[in-house]
Every structure is written in C-alpha cells, then in structure tokens.
Amino acid sequence: MTTTEERATEERPIGFGRMQRKEDPRFIRGKGRYLDDITLPGMLHGAILRSPVAHARVVSIDTTAAVAHPGVQAVITGKDLEPLNLAWAPTLSADVQAVLATDKVRFQGQEVAFVVADDRYAARDALELIDVEYDILRPVVDARRALEPDAPVIRDDLEGRTDNHIFDWEAGDKAATDAVFARDDIVVVSQDIVYPRVHPAPMETCGAIADYEPIDGKLTLYETTQAPHAHRTLYAIVAGIPEHKIRVISPDIGGGFGNKVGIYPGYVCAVVGSIVTGRPVKWVEDRSENLMSTSFARDYLMRGEVAATRDGKILAVRTHVLADHGAFNATAQPTKYPAGFFHIFTGSYDLEAAHCSVTGVYTNKAPGGVAYACSFRVTEAVYLVERMVDVLADELSIDPVELRLRNFIRPEQFPYQNKTGWEYDSGEYETAMRLAMDMAGYDELRREQAEKRERGELMGIGVAFFTETVGAGPRKHMDIVGLGMADGAELRVHPTGKAVVRISVQSQGQGHETTFAQIVAEEIGIPPEDIDVVHGDTDQTPFGLGTYGSRSTPVSGAAVALVTRKVRDKARLIAAVMLEARPEDLEWEKGRWFVKGDPAQSKTIAEIALAAHGTLDLPEGVDGNLDAEVTYDPPNLTFPFGAYICVVDIDPGTGVVKVCRFVAVDDCGTRINPMIIEGQVHGGLTDGVGMALMEIIAFDPEGNCLGGSFMDYLIPTAMEVPDWETGHTVTPSPHHPIGAKGIGESATVGSPPAIVNAIVDALEPYGLRHMDMPCTPARVWAAMEGRPEPPV
C-alpha cells in the first residue's frame, strides 16, 4: 500500500507510475533559472523603503539625499505614482491597496518609496537617506476590537468609511441549524478556536524584473508568480498597457504555497522603475520583507458549536468567524466567496443542518489571508471541525476514531449534498480510516498510552479526517476579478512523433514538467521523455488561471487529458486514411490505432504524425497537423480526503512536544506519479508540524510584527519531524477525465488538527479540552499549569 511497493513495478512508465522528475537534472546541478538568477543587459536594482510603524499619517517624504547618492538612478514615491494613477492598485478582493503610501501607512512594513540604483548595495544605501516624517496614529491590532465604536478607522481613504468592517458572509440554513441546537434531548459542545496568522515563507522570496521597451511599447515582466496569465490581464487593466504588449514570464519558482498569487507593490514599482529609467529593473525582497508584507495566511478567530445525540450522532455544526484581513482586503479567492471555501466546515460527516457566518475586518497588519496551501480556507474549516469532533468525543467519553466512524458520510451517499451547498464527488471514508488505524496499530497505541500514563509519561494519539474541496471552477460560479476559473492546454505532436504540451498553470516545485508529460503519455502512448511541457510564459501558453488551491491536476490536468484525447481522435481519422479503413473500424491501444480484428494492421502515433505533416491526402475537415487546443471548465470541484494519525510525546518537565509518528492515508483519486504524490504529502505534513508547534506571525500592542525573520518565525527542520508513514486508497473522481482529485494541499489541511488533537490527548491528565496553536513549549507548559490562553 505504500509507495515502496509501487516502485518495483513502475520504474519507467509510459503513462502513470513512479518516474524520476524531468526537471531534476537542472536543479541538482545548480542550473535552475530562478528570478534572481536572471541578469539582463543594463539591468538596475530596486529596493523598497518600508514603514517602521503600523499606523501613521505620512507628513512628508524628503528624497533629496537619496537622489544625490552615487549610483542612484531614480527615487519614486506615491506622489510620483499619483499622476500615473498607480499610487493605488486594485486587489483580488475588489478593494484597493497602496502601491506606495501617499496619505497614511497602515501596517508595519508597508511600501513607502522605491529606489532604483546601479546595484543592490547602492539601492539599499539610498533607502537610509530618505527622510520620512510620520504622525503616529493609534493602531488596531486585535481583530476583536476592530469593530468597537472608538476604534480608529484604518481605511479613511475609502469614501464614507466610518468603521473597520469589510464583509459579513454566511452559508447554510441558520433557522434549521438553530432548531437542532434548540432541542432539549441533545448534547451541545462549544469552543473558541484560533487559527493564528502564519506565513507561507517559500524559500525563494518574491521578486520581479521589469523590462519595458519604449520603442515597441512591450513590457516583459519576469515574476515569481503562480498565475502568469491572470497577472498579465491585471497589468493591462491596472497600468493601461495593452495586453498584447505584456509578456509575463514566470521562471523556475522556489516554492510558492499561495505566497506568489497576488500582485505586490514591488512588482508595480519595478514596472514603473523600468518605464522611468528606460532600463530593466530587478526587485527582490529580503526575508523580512517577505514575512512582514506579503500574503500571510489564516488569522481566523472561530467559535465552534456541535450538536449531537448522547450516543454520538452528530446532528449539526454552527460557527461564527472573525476574519482578520489586515489593512487592505487582498485575499485571493473566487469572487462569490469572501471566506473562501470555509463552508466545507461540515467536514466528512453526514449532518442534518449546518450554518456559518464570517465577519471580515480591517486591522493594522499586512494584507493577505488566503495562502499557505490552504485550498481557499479549507485549512481553517477542517481544523475547526476536527478539533470540535474531538471536543465532542471528550464530552461523550467516546473514542475519537469511533465517533468519526459513526458519523462518516457513507459510500452509497455519494454524490453527497452537504448542508452548505457542496456536492462531494466520491468518498470511501471508513476504508481510509481503517487503513490508517491498521498502519498505526491504533489499538496497540492506546494500550501503550495507558501504560505510559501509569508511569506519568505524556503520550498523545491524535486523529483527524479531512475532506478537501479543490480544483476551482466551475467558471460560471467561480472567478477571480472577473476571470473565470478555467485552464487551457495545447498539444502539438511534431512530425517525428515527439510532442510539446503547453499549459496555463505554473509549477512552484510540484513537478508539472513530469506529471503533465505523464498525462499525455497515458492518453496517447508517447513516452514522457519525448514530451516537452511548456509553462510560465504568457507568450507561449494558452490562457488560464494558474496554480493554487490544488487546482493544477483537477483543472489543467483535465485540460491536458482532454486535449490529448482530441489529438488521439484526430489521429484516428488520419490513421483510417492510411490503413484504408473506416475510422469506426479502428481500435485504440496505447500508442497506436489498429484495425479491429486485425491488430497487425496499425499505425503508431509517430507514423500518423509524419503522415499528418506529410503528403497524405487528408480527409475533409482535417488539417495538416496533429495539434489541438482546449479550455477545460470543471463541472464541479474534486474532493480529496484522508485519515491522519499522529503520536506525540510531551516532556512533562519542559512542555516540549515531540512528534514521534505520523501516519497519513491520502485518497487523491487516480494517482499519476506516486513519488511526486508522496512528496507533496510529506511537505504538507511538515507544514502541519510547523503550524501546530512553532509558526506564528504575532504582533505587539503597537502593531510591531514579531515574526519578521527566521530568528522569530520558526520553521521545522529535519530535527522536528519524524519519518513519515504514508499510505493511500484510490477513489477516483467520477467527473474528472482521469479521475484525479489533486494532492498539493491535503496534508497541510489535514495535519494540524491531528497534531493538536494528539497534544490535547496527551494532556488529558491535566483536564485539558483545547489549546490553540502554536503549541510551543512555553504555551504547552502554561496549558499544563491551567492557563491554555489563546495566542492572540
């Protein structure tokens, strides 16, 4: 069941199976081409002056000394951008964000001025010479106080704005849910749960190189972006540059995790810098800039409630969320859903009713919120429901696995309509749960735990079961700033039978050059090594919305499968001419069309490709190539799921949590490359350890960011994580062309509740029912002392 077994049988597949990655040979030689590796002739370097305070009026900015500094080519402030109508730019959530501050600064680290200089040292030197006078204002740091009547109004740039309220949003049936909760024959548990602000912190920070060519008016923009096509359209709209004159190139990306979806002020500044100087301008943020100013994740303050019968049948879940969006509403999610897909908080359970309400507020913190492999807030939803189920298990004194088994949506209920509007496509939840229990030796673990407790040792076993919703669209329901969430693919089979497939999504390490070649290979029989995958360049690829929300395989993967089938169908028409047979008399076998009943009469794809480009008299309506193009509009999302079991030991003397074992059973439907899938799971599990044990972007009462470097924002190393134990089941998606569901974010979604459930379980002797992340030694110690305080 593990990938080790698969390895023996699937070494060099023509199609699905374990194979080494096609992109690796350049990376292991140090020959990747990341943004900061690119040097253009005459290129200048940009640096950003940032606000040292969280909330202040900008009284004056004096750039005289900076402009005079040797090597400085330009200093740009918000006042310079105003005439260009670029001082503010639209966000992905119908708000605006300051590119360079003009009136106020609204979070520590906000962009104030941009220096362009001959080299990165001179640019940094000049920042020190800019004199900004600030009139300090009281900041709003605690989201709970953002709506108080005397709270300072952060967004007084917005006309008529008198408070810090952004939106109210709800899903589910409030009346029906309240009716369940009003019953007197049930058990109700409730719990305040914080999902703290964290940061994706990809190892490569964000950056851009803008190269504006004044003669033909063409802007070539190299960017660390997960969504090059959406960026191109947005630049056309924002900067007024005709879209055909913009080329966005996303080179090799050193990790994204949702951090590289939005357009950051630094990118816009690089564009302006290039237009102003007439030379290419590179801007790359440093680590503190990345942590303090680019898209954070989570920051949800949740109140969860569960209603259940006394014998453990969960009837209803309801929740209210206070969502801290920071100083500008710049979350990236489908327009209709300001809380992303949080309304999947009904989890993997068959409920009678459910309701959530979410209130979004401004605070004096960096903008963002939808990032860090969150599948558009599924992380928060799964964490809430999986913590709440454990709270209920504690209340009812039922084993948490048993409680889940009693409430799972059963296989025959799929497609399952949940109470907040989702249609779950397929699932075999109990099978996955029982496999995880077998792999972990669940009953034996409980016996071991009982023995350890006798000896005063703190061992915890945590269980989580998640259902994800990934692969957005459908486009009629889902768009980002009006762009429908669909993806294009284009396949060309060259005359010699080699191929190129061009896709609209962009890898940040997921291995698209391999996975997408394998999809083509599976569908048409050309070996993956003979298929070039082109991505990350808007001049070379069809339009599409990009890679985030685990949507590459569910959407672009489907597009690639369908475009390959289209080519296969065309090949059939050509093969029929070649074989002097009717197309309907031909049968497909991977790699060739043959005459039914006479398999020796066949034409391979390579033979057909040569004929298509050659002199063969082609049938009516068939043009002389073996190419096709599609745009895939998903009919529904896909719903990957998984069962996770975590074992922790806690040192009663120090509060240090050690994750001893982690068993992860994932079901992502059809598996394309098990090695890559396992890698995606491993990475997400490590994210989970980070969030559960150490990661938090906190602020002091003045709004100073307390997680602005890797000295303060801690990320797991090899010492904090165990050797992962992975397994899988396969429940294909019925509506996806190849049955694949996506795997990129499952483990990040599913692991935090498993770890926290294990910690709370370990601390049961202390009477603990809940503690919030991050479970640092100090916070665990406080919980053991009876002070399980929230982190914010």
The binding site for another protein (CB under 8 A) comprises 20-21, 23-32, 34, 36-37, 39, 119-121, 200-205, 252-255, 257, 286-288, 508-511, 529, 675-676, 678-679, 681-687, 709-711, 715, 717-719, 721, 723-724
Cβ closer to another protein: 31 or 244?
31
CA distance 384 to 193: 7
Which residue number, 37 or 103, has a Cβ lying nearer to another protein? 37
The answer to whether the beta carbons of residues 250 and 506 sit under 8 Å apart is yes
Toward another protein, which CB reaches closer, 95 or 678? 678
Q: How far is the CB of 510 from another protein (least distance, A)?
A: 7
3-class SS letters over 673-735:
CHHHHHHHHHHHHHHHHHHHHCCCCCECCCCCECCCCCCCCCCCCCCCCCCCEEEECCCCCCC
Residues 6+ apart with CB under 8 A from 114: 46, 47, 48, 49, 75, 76, 77, 100, 266, 269, 272, 273, 283
What number of other Cβ atoms are within 10 A of residue 600's Cβ? 6
Q: Which residue has the tokens 């068993």?
A: 663
- Quote the least distance from Cβ 688 to another protein, whole Å: 10
Nearer to another protein by C-beta: 102 or 726?
A: 726
Quickly count: other Cβ atoms within 10 Å of residue 215's Cβ: 5
What does the CA dihedral 437, 440, 444, 445 come to, rounded to 10 degrees?
-110
CB of 369 to another protein, least distance (A): 19
Q: Please say whether the beta carbons of 284 and 205 come within 8 A.
A: yes
Residue 62 C-beta: closest distance to another protein, Å? 26
Q: How many CB atoms lie within 10 A of CB 33?
A: 10
549 token code pair = 């929300």
- Measured from the CB atom, the residue of 286 and 395 that comes closer to another protein is 286
Nearer to another protein, 36 or 702 (CB): 36
Measure the CA–CA gap between 384 and 479, rounded to whole angstroms. Answer: 26
What DSSP line would sit under 462-473, residue for residue?
EEEEEE--BS--
Which is nearer to another protein, 26 or 787 (by Cβ)? 26
To another protein, the closest distance from the beta carbon of 748 in angstroms equals 11
Supply the minimum distance, in Å, between the C-beta of residue 336 and another protein: 31
CB of 761 to another protein, least distance (A): 23
Q: Given the complex with another protein, which of 594 and 644 has the nearer CB atom? A: 644
Whole-number Cα distances in Å, 432 to 374, 653, 666:
22, 36, 8
Minimum CB separation of residue 125 from another protein in Å reads: 10
Measured between alpha carbons, how far is 510 from 651 in angstroms, rounded to an integer?
36
Cβ-based nearer residue to another protein, 50 or 155 = 50
Rounded Cα gap, residues 527 and 466, in angstroms? 35
CA–CA gap between residue 469 and residue 749 (Å, rounded): 11
Q: Which helix (H) or strand (E) element contains residue 416?
A: strand 416-417
Cross-strand partners of 219: 212, 246
3-state SS, 188-231, equals EEEEEEEEEEECCCCCCCCEEEEEEECCCCEEEEEECCCCHHHH
Least distance from another protein to the Cβ atom of residue 662, Å: 10
- By C-beta, is 319 or 375 nearer to another protein? 375
To the nearest whole angstrom, how small is the minimum distance from the Cβ of residue 723 to another protein? Answer: 5
DSSP of 91-104, one letter per residue?
Answer: -TTS-EEESS-SSE
Annotate 550-564 with three-state secondary structure. Answer: CCHHHHHHHHHHHHH
Nearer to another protein, 512 or 736 (CB): 512
Angle among Cα 246, 249, 250 to the nearest 5 degrees reads 140
Q: Which is nearer to another protein, 99 or 373 (CB)?
A: 373
For 390, the 3-state DSSP assignment is helix
Please state the closest distance from residue 678 (CB atom) to another protein, in A: 7
Cβ closest to another protein, residue 34 vs residue 543: 34
Q: Which is nearer to another protein, 305 or 649 (CB)?
A: 649
Helices (H), 422-557: 429-440, 442-454, 512-524
Q: How far is the CB of 390 from another protein (least distance, A)?
A: 24
Helix, strand, coil distribution of the chain in percent, nearest 5: 30, 25, 45
Nearer to another protein, 47 or 574 (CB): 47
Question: CA-to-CA distance for 505 and 544, rounded, in angstroms?
Answer: 7
Quote the least distance from Cβ 717 to another protein, whole Å.
5
Q: State the minimum distance, in angstroms, from the CB of residue 38 to another protein.
A: 9
**Closest by Cα among 513, 599, 603, 597 to 560:** 513
Least distance between another protein and beta carbon 730 (Å): 20
Nearest-approach distance from CB 53 to another protein, in angstroms:
21
Q: Which is nearer to another protein, 288 or 731 (CB)?
A: 288
